[in-house]
Chains A and B, each alone.
Chain A
């Protein structure tokens, strides 16, 4: 064991592990629809009838495959949110607002940014945002088939 006087050796480590994730059928179609048709698609479980956004290929509650696709609106209500003011390594620069948006026609909420308002001033932002408020998607003109094809949801 090291004596009290010696500083233990510190060795730097870094994992830089590349991955190649398969999105699967459901997510692939969702992103294709965002890009090509500028629309948000969900899926409806044949058993519980919930419309699930983001879509997935099976319903975990009913445990059945899902293949019915349903278009949902690109507007909705804000279920809940937070505004981030801290800079975390390699995560987005603050401030940014993350919210859960219950799109019209969907039974689950979609995570996305809430934007189009000044977030620097917390008090002003808190006044501008409220649970239950109406939101509208702001789409990018150049879309790539990613969740960022919607830039954010703005107060409507």
Chain B
């Protein structure tokens, strides 16, 4: 059994389409400095650092090397420093890496940092296209939006999910973001407004898609002994994991079910000893880069049966006042600094457990789930946080 690890500090930046007021190391510092303060520690207290970002988006390959000293002076102090890069799951992967740093027994206090400056890329879909296999598939111009659209097409065909259902997901997330001072898009609109927005890749409209954002996030992970001293209410890691599915888009052509996430969920729930996620999870921060994905995620995560995800939306089960609020932060639909978005899900889940989520706090959170997906939808990370140590 790995030793107990908890999150004891969180730092977030304001996200926008382009944080043109700051040079990259300053943006990162804007997340790391509050994280250290929140944990009540100084750079000398940090034993190791993990950094996550997706390189091509920032226009700087390996920006973590440039940003090293913004991460608790890691360069000046000669710290152990690792870079994790796994597509959209990068932020979730960075959290997992930090967790294993502490769980290994080698380090007691580890800083996880993730950042992205999508605002400095002039065309995000073009970058995403470079993730697609150059030999067979890249020439079709496929990017994240087209793959999500394919998920929507399949889910609508298989289960009767409607364009109104996904429009409602959009409306709810954007409404939640109004409570989140760090969110990028903070706008209120109606289902009608959503349905009137431009069709980008049928059936997904502009309102169904995430923005491109600049932003960074930092978390402090600590061993049990340190966590109990540093935080009044640590967010304990109860279970965590990640998975890699097939590479070619056509290898698993039944896009209506997100099998890779379902598989990972079973593994992580077993680790976390969760039998009934709808009952036992109090809040979930899901990686809803596109509205339809939130619905697929409910089903894969076992919040409902296959094909019934849209009903949870229609019945308000996942609204802020529902049984299992999803994305009180506004989710990826409101804020997407891609490499950081997965870490932001963990940060938001931690804030909920720690009782520090201010206006977006869900009452009485014991257990929170954080998810991220990546690649041509075959990567996932999951982390379950809890008020009590496992």
Distance between A48 CB and nearest chain B CB, rounded to angstroms: 12
Task: Determine the chain A residues whose CB is within 8 A of the CB of B141 once the complex forms.
Answer: 84, 88, 91-92, 96, 98
Q: A88-B126, A98-B142, A108-B250 are in contact. Are A15 and B134 (CB under 8 A)?
A: no
Distance between A127 CB and nearest chain B CB, rounded to angstroms: 13
Q: Is the CB of A131 within 8 A of B126?
A: no
B250 CB contact (under 8 Å) in A27, A91, A92, A111: A111
Distance between B20 CB and nearest chain A CB, rounded to angstroms: 6
B21 CB contact (under 8 Å) in A8, A24, A98: A8
Distance between B28 CB and nearest chain A CB, rounded to angstroms: 15
Q: A54-B248, A82-B202, A90-B123 are in contact. Are A100 and B150 (CB under 8 A)?
A: yes
Quick check: is B1 within 8 A (CB to CB) of the other chain? Answer: no
Question: Which of B40-48, B77-85, B251-259 lies at the interface?
Answer: B251-259
Quick check: is B246 within 8 A (CB to CB) of the other chain? Answer: yes
Q: Is the CB of A84 within 8 A of B249?
A: no
Task: Determine the chain A residues whose CB is within 8 A of the CB of B20 once the complex forms.
Answer: 8, 10
In whole angstroms, what is the CA distance A2 to B21 when docked? Answer: 9
Q: Is the CB of A89 within 8 A of B200?
A: no
In whole angstroms, what is the CA distance A102 to B56 when docked? Answer: 32
Distance between B25 CB and nearest chain A CB, rounded to angstroms: 12
Q: Which of A70-92 contact B (CB under 8 A)?
A: 79-86, 88-92
Q: Is the CB of A79 within 8 A of B136?
A: no
Task: Determine the chain A residues whose CB is within 8 A of the CB of B145 once the complex forms.
Answer: 84, 86
Q: A88-B143, A91-B141, A147-B136 are in contact. Are A82 and B150 (CB under 8 A)?
A: yes
Which residue of chain A lies nearest to B200 when distances are taken between CB atoms in the complex?
A86
Q: Is the CB of A85 within 8 A of B250?
A: no
Q: Which of B124-148 contact A (CB under 8 A)?
A: 125-126, 129, 134-137, 139-143, 145-146
Q: Is the CB of A147 within 8 A of B202?
A: no
Task: Determine the chain B residues whose CB is within 8 A of the CB of A86 once the complex forms.
Answer: 145, 198, 200-201
Quick check: is B390 within 8 A (CB to CB) of the other chain? Answer: no
In whole angstroms, what is the CA distance A54 to B150 when docked? Answer: 19
Quick check: is B153 within 8 A (CB to CB) of the other chain? Answer: yes
Quick check: is B157 within 8 A (CB to CB) of the other chain? Answer: yes
B202 CB contact (under 8 Å) in A54, A79, A83: A83
Q: Is the CB of A27 within 8 A of B135?
A: yes
Q: Is the CB of B153 within 8 A of A111?
A: no
Q: Is the CB of B199 within 8 A of A91?
A: no
Task: Determine the chain B residues whose CB is within 8 A of the CB of A90 once the complex forms.
Answer: 123, 126
Quick check: is B149 within 8 A (CB to CB) of the other chain? Answer: yes
Quick check: is B154 within 8 A (CB to CB) of the other chain? Answer: yes
Quick check: is B247 within 8 A (CB to CB) of the other chain? Answer: yes
Residue among B22, B135, B141, B198 with the highest chain A CB neighbour number at 10 A: B135
Task: Determine the chain B residues whose CB is within 8 A of the CB of A88 once the complex forms.
Answer: 123, 125-126, 129, 141, 143
Task: Determine the chain B residues whose CB is within 8 A of the CB of A80 once the complex forms.
Answer: 150, 153-154, 157, 253, 255
Q: Is the CB of A98 within 8 A of B123?
A: no
Q: Is the CB of B135 within 8 A of A23?
A: yes
Write the B13-34 contact mask toward A (1 if CB under 8 angstroms, else 0). Answer: 0000000111100000000000
In whole angstroms, what is the CA distance A98 to B144 when docked? Answer: 13
In whole angstroms, what is the CA distance A130 to B122 when docked? Answer: 35
In whole angstroms, what is the CA distance A102 to B252 when docked? Answer: 11
Write the A93-129 contact mask toward B (1 if CB under 8 angstroms, else 0). Answer: 0001010111000001111110000000010011000
Task: Determine the chain A residues whose CB is within 8 A of the CB of B246 once the complex forms.
Answer: 60
Task: Determine the chain A residues whose CB is within 8 A of the CB of B56 once the complex forms.
Answer: 15
Residue among A19, A85, A86, A147 with the highest chain B CB neighbour number at 10 A: A86
Q: Is the CB of B253 within 8 A of A148?
A: no
Q: Is the CB of B136 within 8 A of A27?
A: yes
Which residue of chain B lies nearest to A21 when distances are taken between CB atoms in the complex?
B134
In whole angstroms, what is the CA distance A85 to B145 when docked? Answer: 11
Which residue of chain A lies nearest to B252 when distances are taken between CB atoms in the complex?
A108
Quick check: is A13 within 8 A (CB to CB) of the other chain? Answer: yes
Residue among A19, A21, A88, A111 with the highest chain B CB neighbour number at 10 A: A111
Q: A82-B150, A86-B200, A100-B249 are in contact. Are A111 and B142 (CB under 8 A)?
A: yes
Quick check: is A135 within 8 A (CB to CB) of the other chain? Answer: no
Write the B187-210 contact mask toward A (1 if CB under 8 angstroms, else 0). Answer: 000000000001111111000000
Quick check: is B160 within 8 A (CB to CB) of the other chain? Answer: no
Task: Determine the chain B residues whose CB is within 8 A of the CB of A91 once the complex forms.
Answer: 125-126, 129, 141, 143
In whole angstroms, what is the CA distance A100 to B141 when docked? Answer: 14
Please give 13 more A-B residue pairs, beta carbons under 8 A apart, in addition to A82-B146, A147-B137: A13-B120, A23-B135, A80-B154, A82-B202, A88-B126, A89-B122, A89-B125, A98-B140, A100-B253, A108-B251, A109-B251, A111-B249, A122-B199
22 contacts between A and B (CB under 8 A): A27-B136, A53-B250, A54-B135, A79-B250, A80-B157, A82-B152, A84-B201, A88-B126, A88-B129, A90-B126, A91-B141, A92-B140, A92-B141, A98-B141, A100-B250, A108-B248, A108-B252, A109-B253, A113-B140, A125-B202, A131-B153, A147-B137
